[in-house]
Amino acid sequence: MSAPEPAPSALSMSPIPLIEGAAIDGMAAYRALVDEARRDPEAFWARLAREHLDWKQPFTRTLDSSHAPFFKWFDDGLLNASYNCLDRHLENGGASRTAIVFEADGGELTTLTYGELHARVCRVANALRARGVRRGDRVMIYLPMSIEGVVAMQACARIGAPHSVVFGGFSAKSLHERMADVGACVLITADEQVRGGRHLPLKTIADEALAMGCGDTVHTVIVYRRTGGAIPWHAGRDVWLHELEATQSATCEPEWVDAEHPLFILYTSGSTGTPKGVQHSTGGYLLWAALTMKWTFDIRASDVFWCTADIGWITGHSYICYGPTAAGATQMIFEGVPTWPNAGRFWQMIERHKVSIFYTAPTAIRSLMKAAQADPDVHPARYDLGSLRLLGTVGEPINPEAWRWFAAQVGGGRCPVLDTFWQTETGGHMIAPLPGVTPLVPGSCTLPLPGIEAAIVDETGRDVPDGHGGLLVIKRPWPSMLRTVWGNPARYRAGYFPEELGGKLYLAGDGAIRDSESGYFTITGRVDDVLNVSGHRMGTAEIESALAAHPQVAEAAVVGRPDATTGEAIVAFVVLKGPCPLDGDAQRVADELRTWIGREIGPIAKPREIRFGEAMPKTRSGKIVRRLLRSVAKGEAIEQDTSTVENPAVIAQFSKAA
């Protein structure tokens, strides 16, 4: 682990006005919550859990740290996540409140009230029970962005069956690995998904994954008919979702589970090449999803909330499936992509549906910023965005230029831009501006939320002075933290509470700097071998392993380089078993390798550049010198010390990209 460089000059505050009457109303209220959490953390979290969640059996024990870092929160209390997201909103006219406005890729609209959503969730939950799914059984979900995705997740929660959602862009091999690791008994998928006018064959990919060796555990495949396209069918195993629903009751008694019962396992890329199954609990996770909807987004009954993420990522879990529903909010869900049929799609939808809170990725903002500069017809100024009152960004730090454009051109200079830092492992926002509280700084995620003890340390776990870079850590446990890595507690302990930092600090894996004047945090990027491409974490080792599995590849190394649109771009350095390819052949082989990576992992893992050489630059002990490859990828002159490199001449061979 290496620490980032010292901080640049002090941060400058943005003049964008604050929100009046927010959930946390002013800096004094924020400081009071921070002080309450520091004085008595357990009493603080217990109060919030009692105020924001409905319990079937109240908890009497707030935190059990006797087996740290395997912490337990509220573990003797009983509750149900689906009940907290749906049932408790149904009284006093709540059943008729709009829960979801869904816009399909082609523009078709579907609206569901809380009463209708509750009925659908109950029917699917009953259908799962009818197919033999019981409390603790794992259900794999491989669906497009859809109402059905939210229904499936909530139905699993209702019967106490932990779900594991896989992003619809992942390959059959990636799906197979996750199904096998989690031991899924049921797979819920779709015939096809539709994105940008294209039909993508999810069921066919799912069948390929099952053929790789999950058939002994997956006894049922439930298929959502999205397009009606022709698909392979396995009688006895495959069943249509709509046919299952039609036979089931619209009422379903929830399974009351203890607060530590696993709600879901979500796989994220790690530095070892094997995806990690991040396990989240029911009570602690749901508390933080509900609280951050209130604190960060200041959610109100009049709001139309839109998070543009996919349910295959943690953002879609926390701020589509669980957070908005726990808050009883009205939300938009979108099937398609921001640039189809043109790059004005997002702005058109905000105008049409009167969206008031808009939460999206810096990659999307940068892409739409470029499109608006090239084509005035898709510029945000051409649309009525007056309904917006809050803007948020997620997935990666947002660069100041994109932040200012987003604030001025989309928010009209009146909407705070909430740059939220958090991770799959944290369950929800950790460091983020609060509307009505925090003066804003382009490029900074500002201050930790109340109850989050963030700090910056060196490689021995010691605090570093403000203004100097270091490793971002969390010093105290919090309720929504991951509980373990599924089936691998040793990996959880070593990866998140490493002994070199003392074994008691949660290591985020990101570098950060805290400003000496404001105390604001700025995230400087990953410090492990994980890339952040368009807000998606991709392990370099996973991509390297996939490349090395290709029959023509002898060795591969993968690094990231800065990219103005995606944040980072994947650059692969490849040594073939045969001769190093010449110009024409290099492009052909590179295209073949990209296709291979798309099949092995998914299109999001395809390298932007592939560079060929006769050998990797290595130390005398055989270790690849990645710092040199990073410099080559960035186009930098090699001015570093190469005396420890056994074969420095090979570096020049990687100068051309294919």
Cα 235 vs. chain centroid, distance in angstroms? Answer: 35
Consult the annotation and say whether 420 binds a ligand.
Answer: yes
Consult the annotation and say whether 358 binds a ligand.
Answer: no
Per residue in 532-556, is it b (16+ CB within 10 Å) or e — as a string? bbbbbbbbbbbbbbbbeebeebebb
pLDDT tens sequence across 336-383: 999 999 999 999 999 999 999 999 988 889 889 989 988 999 999 999
Consult the annotation and say whether 315 binds a ligand.
Answer: yes
Q: Which residue has the tokens 């009422």?
A: 251
Consult the annotation and say whether 215 binds a ligand.
Answer: no
Alpha-carbon torsion, ordered 52, 56, 57, 60, to 10 deg:
-10
Residue 509: which of 443, 564, 430, 609 has the closest Cα? 430
Cα 395 vs. chain centroid, distance in angstroms? Answer: 7
Do residues 573 and 611 make contact, with C-beta atoms less than 8 angstroms apart?
yes
Give pLDDT, residue 454. Answer: 97
Does position 644 have pLDDT exceeding 60, yes or no?
Answer: no
Consult the annotation and say whether 97 binds a ligand.
Answer: no
Q: Which amino acid is at 85?
A: C
pLDDT tens sequence across 597-608: 988 888 888 999
Consult the annotation and say whether 397 binds a ligand.
Answer: yes
Q: Cα-flanking dihedrals φ and ψ of residue 283, to 5°?
A: -70, -55
Give pLDDT, residue 82. Answer: 98
Instruction: Report the range of poorest mean pLDDT among 24-33, 421-430, 473-482.
Output: 24-33
- Burial (CB count within 10 angstroms: exposed 0-12, middle 13-18, buried 19+), residue 608: middle
Q: How many CA atoms lie within 13 A of 400 on its CB side?
A: 9
Consult the annotation and say whether 526 binds a ligand.
Answer: yes
Consult the annotation and say whether 395 binds a ligand.
Answer: yes
Give pLDDT, residue 273. Answer: 60
What interhelical angle do 172-182 and 583-600 show, nearest 10? Answer: 30
Consult the annotation and say whether 510 binds a ligand.
Answer: yes
Consult the annotation and say whether 423 binds a ligand.
Answer: yes
Q: Cα-flanking dihedrals φ and ψ of residue 211, to 5°?
A: -70, -15
Does position 557 have pLDDT exceeding 90, yes or no?
Answer: no
Q: Is 66 helix (H, G, I), strand (E, B) or coil?
A: coil
Does position 270 have pLDDT exceeding 70, yes or no?
Answer: no
Consult the annotation and say whether 653 binds a ligand.
Answer: no
Do residues 245 and 224 make contact, with C-beta atoms less than 8 angstroms apart?
no
d(CA 467, CA 452): 20
Consult the annotation and say whether 197 binds a ligand.
Answer: yes
Residue 334: which of 323, 348, 322 has the closest Cα? 348
Instruction: Report, as an integer, the average pLDDT of 146-160.
Output: 98
The DSSP bridge pattern shows strands 139-142 and 186-190 to be parallel
Consult the annotation and say whether 213 binds a ligand.
Answer: no
d(CA 390, CA 398): 16
Q: Which residue segments constitute the domains of the chain, with CATH numbers given? A: 27-337+421-510 (3.40.50.12780), 534-654 (3.30.300.30)
Q: Which residues contact 538 (CB under 8 A, 6 or more apart)?
A: 269, 530, 531, 532, 570, 604, 605
Q: Give the pair of three-digit tokens for residue 626.
A: 């990645």
Consult the annotation and say whether 249 binds a ligand.
Answer: no
pLDDT grade, residue 564 (50/70/90)?
A: confident
pLDDT grade, residue 643 (50/70/90)?
A: low
d(CA 275, CA 546): 13
Residue 188: which of 230, 155, 160, 216 has the closest Cα? 155
Give pLDDT, residue 9. Answer: 39
Q: Give the pair of three-digit tokens for residue 570.
A: 């994947």
Does position 8 have pLDDT exceeding 50, yes or no?
Answer: no
Consult the annotation and say whether 236 binds a ligand.
Answer: no
Consult the annotation and say whether 654 binds a ligand.
Answer: no
pLDDT tens sequence across 168-227: 988 898 899 999 999 999 999 999 999 999 999 999 999 999 999 876 799 999 999 999
- DSSP 8-state symbol, 580: P
Consult the annotation and say whether 405 binds a ligand.
Answer: no
Q: Cα-flanking dihedrals φ and ψ of residue 219, to 5°?
A: -95, -15
Do residues 371 and 363 make contact, with C-beta atoms less than 8 angstroms apart?
no
Do residues 597 and 607 make contact, with C-beta atoms less than 8 angstroms apart?
yes
Instruction: Report, as an integer, the average pLDDT of 222-246.
Output: 96
pLDDT grade, residue 6 (50/70/90)?
A: very low
